[in-house]
Structure 1
């Protein structure tokens, strides 16, 4: 079993974004059912965000209410929270004032019901040196016991190396899926392996493309932010949908679902000697989906090869993000 900060976690974690950050928020009761189901199925590494929803109902607000009702679950969960990017997630602020404001708000919203194990600035602030950001986090929050450790989110390999010289990095969060394999080629995974830093794979279902829920562009809700993403445009979506169908055919041949194949492909990457610990964090709101996502199935080398051949035959169309969303190069 993988571990972070010396705490054992399940091989598959749980992403909280969809519980509060969506055009049609689910009820709090349904969110509680989802959180309970995740924990019951061994998905005890939870990843949320200060900006996952409006200030009055984001991940922290939901978690405070959940742990108020189920205080016995607090110690079972390893909690990672992203912040310091504003409420719209587009204004990275790693300044001392910005980091303090974000983290103090996150801690206050939890009302002491759960300690934040990992805090990540969701994007690197190009205007603030990392040593300035980390000095505040390390001295004022880690050393005082307010948080467990410091993580990185959406950074390139050189940033990971730079950060590791300045502070202890306990996790690196990066987009990784069958449709976003960049970390395997751009040095991110290799750097994490070398430095023995766990890699948290977000969007392992490629924002729903690998769930089977989309059959055409019209299946994307009009108000969904996905309509602004390059891979969901009328000219790119049909190609990506066709690729998803081909991967789904491989899953059917294996006797598992498309999401199960997508998640277990990520887990199976760790069999390779040059890979770090990798923990995918799928998000789901239905208990049935959470139970489906939690299942472990073995991916053989022959199946790896077949998947690679499919991905080489039909390439993913479109960038991961629209240009309005900042990334670290």
Structure 2
């Protein structure tokens, strides 16, 4: 089943851009550009970034995207670019008011310049103080003005998706989904999107790198890595959660693939489990080698393999929240 977003065909796997600019060490342009080009060559032409993916400057991610498409304008029309915004860049609090989302969109467009159109815009979190209908209506006006191509949602519950879709067409829903974050299925987000014909964009499909099996202790993280502040990577939870990684790694070895490839194949299998579902994992990568690994063709999981993984997920409970107590309240808006 081929997938289109805004009338453009997109590959079965997308590409997350966060890691280039939201880490202690920025990725050099030549390395980042090579990875971005390779993703496009693999058909991973759904790019996902954000207005605030930058350290120390929030807009570094947008500026990188601008430089890439300025250098390689031939790729611009083939890539569907989705950018998260709607967040106060000084306080990191969501703001879904009509005035602020317009300001956010205009800032994104300013940094993208003329190099790349803003295909999809999504508020990174739902503002608890502004009805989703108000925010989506404001974004619909921006669509009508031609400032954005379409509207996406992020970190939303099923009810919010329905309310938003009643106001304007929703072109995608971005939610964390992976072998260690299955809440979107359990809470009906996947089935709701399937029913409404909305593609799901699965961010952190590799569990923020944990499911690759290459992170064996907290010392493997660079100083300043934001993952050190997340509950699942805490001292008390880390070793427990490695049990799931080890089980998945063993299964991948039996199948002759990488654990990262098994994790992505497990997500894609859902399209055959949930009628009508279209789901795009967006693993991030900062090197060509990692892009090749994530985008490598992998044989679809059999029903027995999917069931075996399901049994592992029931047996091993992931310890710790997806983020931490300071940010959990803004999930499932």
Q: How many residues align?
A: 328
SS in 2 for 1:236: helix
Q: Which runs of 5+ in 1 are unaligned?
A: none
Describe how 1:149-160 pairs up with structure 2 within 5 A. 149-160=150-161
- The superposition leaves residues 200-242 of structure 1 with CA deviations (integer Å, 9 ceiling, x where unpaired) of 0000001111112211122122311111101001110101112
Q: What is aligned with 1:306?
A: 308
Q: What is aligned with 1:78?
A: 80
Contact 1:47/1:81 (<8 A) preserved: yes
Instruction: Give, in angstroms, the shift of residue 90 of structure 1.
Output: 3.0
CA–CA distance in structure 2, aligned partners of residues 123 and 45 of structure 1:
20
Q: What is aligned with 1:62?
A: 64
Q: What is aligned with 1:290?
A: 291
- The superposition leaves residues 288-329 of structure 1 with CA deviations (integer Å, 9 ceiling, x where unpaired) of 010010013221111111111111221111110112122235
Q: What is aligned with 2:279?
A: 278
- Show structure 1 runs of 4+ deviating over 4 A: none
Q: What is aligned with 1:23?
A: 24
When structure 1 is superposed on structure 2, of 293-302 and 82-91 the one drifting more is 82-91
CA–CA distance in structure 2, aligned partners of residues 83 and 134 of structure 1:
13
TM-score (norm 1): 0.97
Describe how 1:1-329 pairs up with structure 2 within 5 A. 1-53=2-54, 54-55=56-57, 57-87=59-89, 90-139=92-141, 141-274=142-275, 276-297=277-298, 298-325=300-327, 326-329=330-333
SS in 2 for 1:147: coil
- The superposition leaves residues 108-162 of structure 1 with CA deviations (integer Å, 9 ceiling, x where unpaired) of 11111111111000000111122322222111x2112221100100001111011
Q: Which runs of 5+ in 2 are unaligned?
A: none
CA–CA distance in structure 2, aligned partners of residues 328 and 302 of structure 1:
31
CA–CA distance in structure 2, aligned partners of residues 108 and 117 of structure 1:
14
Instruction: Give, in angstroms, the shift of residue 273 of structure 1.
Output: 4.0
TM-score (norm 2): 0.95
